[in-house]
Amino acid sequence: MLKNKTLKYFLLGILLTLFALYFMNETIYSYINNIFFMFTINPEKIKIFINSHGKYAILISFLLMIFQSIVAPLPAFLITFANATLFGWWQGAILSWVSSMTGATLCFYISRILGRDTVEKLTGKSSIKKIDTFFSKYGSYTILVCRLLPFISFDIVSYAAGLTSLNFLSFFIATGLGQLPATIIYSYVGGMLTGGAKTAITGLFILFSLTIIIYMLKKIFSDKKNI
């Protein structure tokens, strides 16, 4: 009990420190706002940002993925696209998968240690309630199902999982298996995003089509289970 309280206060202290640095340090404030701005534009901006750090580009990409994991719901697939164009599709896929798994783990434990009130402040009550509905409907399959659907927030699912009785190993395996095909697809498509806006739109259209197909297969599987 004492250990849990210590961890809780330690995590709260880190979060409060980070928020204080964000609002009180002008350099950090501008740097973080620049990152938020990038996520509203396109993968090219993120690619330029990562690449501008030279030999630290891989580390920056890794930290950027963790940042977007904690600050839900920024779209992780934009970083995956950027990684694919910078490092090659399969090297980028490995980097994106490892960093996203690290981010998912952090979200899971932040949620488990700090509880629902903190998570709702980070993500919003309505977002968590939507994923709660998935958990009540699909149970332990929720993680796998949601990981296969790119327009369901990766981060919020990780936070919501930490609020359930699901053990970490089950969460980690389901996340790893569910995230792997999505990461490979994003990375492969991201590797094609070198021809400007037209190609980018085509790539996103392909992703959207794949999402629909995966959702339909998931629906068919669920319906067969209920028969």
Say what the pLDDT of residue 135 is.
80
Judge if the upstream peptide bond of residue 75 is cis by omega within 30 degrees of 0. no
Model confidence at 198: pLDDT above 50 = no
Say what the pLDDT of residue 100 is.
92
Say what the pLDDT of residue 149 is.
66
- Six token digits for residue 20: 């204080």
Reported pTM: 0.73
pLDDT tens-place string over residues 71-89: 755 678 888 888 988 998 8
Say what the pLDDT of residue 93 is.
92
Contact assessment for residue 135 and residue 187, using Cβ atoms and an 8 Å cutoff: no
Say what the pLDDT of residue 211 is.
60
Average of per-residue pLDDT across 203-212: 57
Kindly state the percentage of the chain with pLDDT values over 90. 18
pLDDT tens-place string over residues 95-154: 999 999 999 999 999 999 888 888 888 777 887 887 888 787 777 677 877 776 656 777
CA nearest neighbour of 122 among 178, 73, 164: 73
Domains of the chain by residue range: 39-226
DSSP-derived secondary structure letter, 41: S
Contact assessment for residue 80 and residue 186, using Cβ atoms and an 8 Å cutoff: yes
CA dist., res. 100 & res. 83, Å (int): 12
Contact assessment for residue 191 and residue 84, using Cβ atoms and an 8 Å cutoff: yes
